[in-house]
Structure 1
Amino acid sequence: MVSPGNETHQELLLKIHDLTLRLEEAQETLDAIHAATVDAVVVYHDGKHRVYTLEGVDTIYRRLFETLNEGVLVATADRTILYANRRFADLVGVELSRITGASVERFVPLAQMADFTAFLERAEEMPHRDDLSLIRADGGLVPVLVSINPAPLERSETGCAIIVTDLTELRQVQEALRRANEELEERIEARTADLLCANAALETEIAERMRVEEALRNEDRQKDEFLAILSHELRNPLTPLRNATQIMKKPGLDETRLAWCRDVIDRQVEHLVRLVDDLLDISRISRGKIELKKEIVELRAIIDSAIESSQPFIEAAGHELKVSFPDEPLPLNADPVRLTQVFANLLNNAAKYMKAGGKIYLSARRQEATAIVSVRDTGIGIPAEALISIFDLFTQVDRSTNHGQGGLGIGLALVRSLVHLHGGQVEVYSAGPDQGSDFVVYLPLATECLNDVTQPKTSASMLQSPRRILVVDDNHDVADSLGILLQFLGAEVQVVYDGASALETIEAFKPDLMILDLGMPGMDGYEVARQIRQKPGFQDVMLIALTGWGQKKDRARTRMEGFDYHLVKPVDIEALKTLLRL
Structure 2
Amino acid sequence: MQAMNPVEQVNILIVDDEPRNLAVLESILDHPGYRLVRATTGDDALLALMADEFALLVLDVQMPGMSGFELAKMIKDRRKTARIPIIFLTAFYHEDQQVLEAYGSGAVDFLHKPVNPPVLKSKVAVFAELHRKERELERANRRLLELNASLDRRVEERTAELQASEARLREADRRKDEFLATLAHELRNPLAPVRNAIHFLKLRGPGTNDVQWASDIIERQVSLMSRLIDELMDVSRISQGRIELRRERALLDDVLADAVETMQPQIDGAGHKLSVLHPPGKLAVDADRARLAQVFMNILSNAAKYTDPGGQIEVRVVRDGAQAVVSFRDNGIGIAPHRLESVFDMFSQEEPALTRSRGGLGIGLSLTRKLVELHGGTVTAASEGAGKGSVFTVRLPLAEASSEPEPEAPQAEPGVPAGTLRILVADDNTDAAETLAILLESLGHSVRQVHDGEAAVQAAGEFDAELVLLDIGMPRVNGYDACRRIREQPGGAGRTVVAVTGWGQPQDLERSRAAGFDEHVVKPIDIDRLLQLIASRLEGSASDRP
Q: Work out whether the TM-score is over 0.5.
A: yes
Amino acid at match of 2:424: V
* Equivalent position to 2:389, from 423, 436, 447: 436
Mapped pair 1:526 → 2:483: yes
Amino acid at match of 2:417: S
* Equivalent position to 1:550, from 489, 504, 524: 504
Q: Match of 1:433, SS?
A: coil
Q: Provide the residue aligned with 2:246 in structure 1.
A: 293
1:472/1:479 contact within 8 Å kept: no
Mapped pair 1:168 → 2:168: no
Aligned equivalents of 1:361 and 1:188: distance in 2?
73
1:325/1:364 contact within 8 Å kept: yes
* Equivalent position to 2:257, from 281, 286, 304: 304
Q: Deviations over 1:469-506 (max 9, x none)?
A: 44422345334423444566xx3222211434444445
The percent of aligned pairs where both chains have the same amino acid is 35
Q: Deviations over 1:80-133 (max 9, x none)?
A: xxxxxx99xx989997699xxxxxxxxxxxxxxxxxxxxxxxxxxxxxxxxxxx
The Cα shift of 1:164 comes to 4.4
Mapped pair 1:473 → 2:425: yes
1:361/1:376 contact within 8 Å kept: yes
Equivalent runs, 1:157-306 vs 2, <5 Å: 164-181=119-136, 255-306=208-259
The Cα shift of 1:559 comes to 4.3
Most deviating of 300-309 and 430-439 = 430-439
Q: Provide the residue aligned with 1:398 in structure 2.
A: 351
Aligned equivalents of 2:433 and 2:129: distance in 1?
100
* Equivalent position to 1:408, from 355, 361, 364: 361
The Cα shift of 1:331 comes to 3.2
1:329/1:450 contact within 8 Å kept: no
Aligned equivalents of 1:270 and 1:66: distance in 2?
109
Amino acid at match of 1:553: Q
Rg larger in structure: 1
The Cα shift of 1:361 comes to 1.9
Aligned equivalents of 1:345 and 1:334: distance in 2?
17
Aligned equivalents of 1:560 and 1:339: distance in 2?
30
Amino acid at match of 1:474: A
Q: Provide the residue aligned with 2:69 in structure 1.
A: none
* Equivalent position to 2:342, from 383, 389, 392: 389
Alignment CA distance shift 1:191-1:332 (3 Å): farther
Q: Deviations over 1:381-421 (max 9, x none)?
A: 12222233222222211236867421111212222222233
Q: Provide the residue aligned with 1:565 in structure 2.
A: 519
Q: Deviations over 1:294-338 (max 9, x none)?
A: 333333222111111101100111111121223444333332222
Aligned equivalents of 2:149 and 2:333: distance in 1?
55
Amino acid at match of 1:430: S
2:470/2:497 contact within 8 Å kept: no
Q: Deviations over 1:337-360 (max 9, x none)?
A: 222222111110110001112122
The Cα shift of 1:560 comes to 5.3
Q: Match of 1:340, SS?
A: helix
2:379/2:393 contact within 8 Å kept: yes
Aligned equivalents of 1:551 and 1:430: distance in 2?
37
Q: Provide the residue aligned with 1:335 in structure 2.
A: 288
Alignment CA distance shift 1:372-1:281 (3 Å): same
Alignment CA distance shift 1:340-1:95 (3 Å): same
* Equivalent position to 2:311, from 358, 365, 368: 358
Most deviating of 423-432 and 560-569 = 560-569
Alignment CA distance shift 1:330-1:287 (3 Å): same
Aligned equivalents of 2:274 and 2:448: distance in 1?
46
Q: Match of 1:309, SS?
A: helix
User: Unaligned stretches of 5+ in structure 1?
Assistant: 1-63, 73-85, 99-135, 145-160, 203-207, 249-253
Amino acid at match of 2:131: A
Alignment CA distance shift 1:327-1:561 (3 Å): farther
Q: Provide the residue aligned with 1:496 in structure 2.
A: 448
With normalisation by structure 1, the TM-score equals 0.56
* Equivalent position to 2:327, from 371, 374, 392: 374
2:259/2:294 contact within 8 Å kept: yes
2:470/2:500 contact within 8 Å kept: yes
2:89/2:110 contact within 8 Å kept: no
The Cα shift of 1:529 comes to 5.8
Alignment CA distance shift 1:503-1:182 (3 Å): closer
Q: Match of 1:447, SS?
A: coil
Alignment CA distance shift 1:339-1:575 (3 Å): farther
1:529/1:563 contact within 8 Å kept: no
Aligned equivalents of 1:97 and 1:283: distance in 2?
94
Alignment CA distance shift 1:96-1:280 (3 Å): closer
Aligned equivalents of 1:377 and 1:175: distance in 2?
85
Equivalent runs, 1:342-353 vs 2, <5 Å: 342-353=295-306
Aligned equivalents of 1:381 and 1:143: distance in 2?
98
Alignment CA distance shift 1:529-1:163 (3 Å): closer
1:471/1:479 contact within 8 Å kept: no
The Cα shift of 1:455 comes to 6.5
Alignment RMSD (CA, Å): 5.6
Q: Match of 2:316, SS?
A: strand
1:330/1:445 contact within 8 Å kept: yes
Q: Deviations over 1:411-462 (max 9, x none)?
A: 122222222333333222222211222222233443265746547899xxx9
Amino acid at match of 2:218: I
Q: Deviations over 1:246-289 (max 9, x none)?
A: xx9xxxxx822222222232222222222322232233333333
Higher RCO (CA < 8 A, seq sep 6+) = 2
Aligned equivalents of 1:397 and 1:190: distance in 2?
58
1:143/1:166 contact within 8 Å kept: no
Alignment CA distance shift 1:355-1:256 (3 Å): same
Alignment CA distance shift 1:317-1:560 (3 Å): same
Mapped pair 1:323 → 2:246: no
With normalisation by structure 2, the TM-score equals 0.59
The Cα shift of 1:179 comes to 4.5
Q: State how many pairs are aligned.
A: 417
Q: Match of 2:445, SS?
A: strand
Alignment CA distance shift 1:263-1:366 (3 Å): same
